[in-house]
Amino acid sequence: MEIFIYSDESGVFDNVHNEVFVFGGVFFLSREEKDIATRKYRHVESIIRKKEDRNDTEELKAAKLSPTTRNKIYRSLNNLEKFGVIIHQQRILGQIFKSKKSKRRYLDYAYKIALKRKFEQLILNKTINPNKVTAIYIFADERSVAKDERNELKETLEEEFKDGRFNETYSKFFAPMFPNLRSIEVSYCNSAKVTLVRTADVVANRLYRSVAENDTKTLSQRENFCITHLP
């Protein structure tokens, strides 16, 4: 079984001027499912461009759309498996914000936990069998990750989901979530060129706005949207 994940972020990871930062995205459990969603989302975009007289080359970023248009697009995603993590920045240890490396490590950790919670939900609901997962493909927006940091997320995810991890303090080995997983691929994409990263942009934007509107409960009540709060 192959799993395809598309994600984006919303907000600024800066505890001085911002209260929250979020990752959000969508899961697809087969290539066919992914391809169908791509065609459907492109169709939604074409309708919006035509109705609002927008250029065909213009990227429809959620932050630049009207609330009405954003809501219409989001409703078109109702049946997709979604995940998100809300990072409450004021609760994080201040030392994490002292260097780019420590900030990146925390964001990688938060991303890993968000994926893990979604996987746990899918396994609990018997949507996926962990023994049958052989490959995970992750596509994320490229805008915020430096080239020398790109392998670090992959290594973090491989440890959790593919290879297992060893806790030196307690001399204990934690088995990987997917014992037959052969590969995890992480790609950073230009959202203007990858349709489903734009889909993830809408999900992340909706999650971020739900915090501002104090309405995350409405989103989390949908069984296919797994929302994690950190710390």
Instruction: With beta carbons less than 8 A apart as the criterion, state whether 155 and 174 touch.
Output: no
Q: Which fold has domain 2-230?
A: Nucleotidyltransferase; domain 5 (3.30.420)
Confidence at 142, pLDDT banded by 50, 70, 90:
confident
Confidence at 221, pLDDT banded by 50, 70, 90:
confident
- 149-170 pLDDT, tens digit per residue, is 778 999 999 999 999 988 877 7
Confidence at 144, pLDDT banded by 50, 70, 90:
low
User: What is the arithmetic mean of pLDDT over 81-85?
Assistant: 98
pLDDT for residue 150: 77
- 18-71 pLDDT, tens digit per residue, is 999 999 999 999 999 999 999 999 999 999 999 999 999 899 999 999 999 999
Confidence at 187, pLDDT banded by 50, 70, 90:
very high
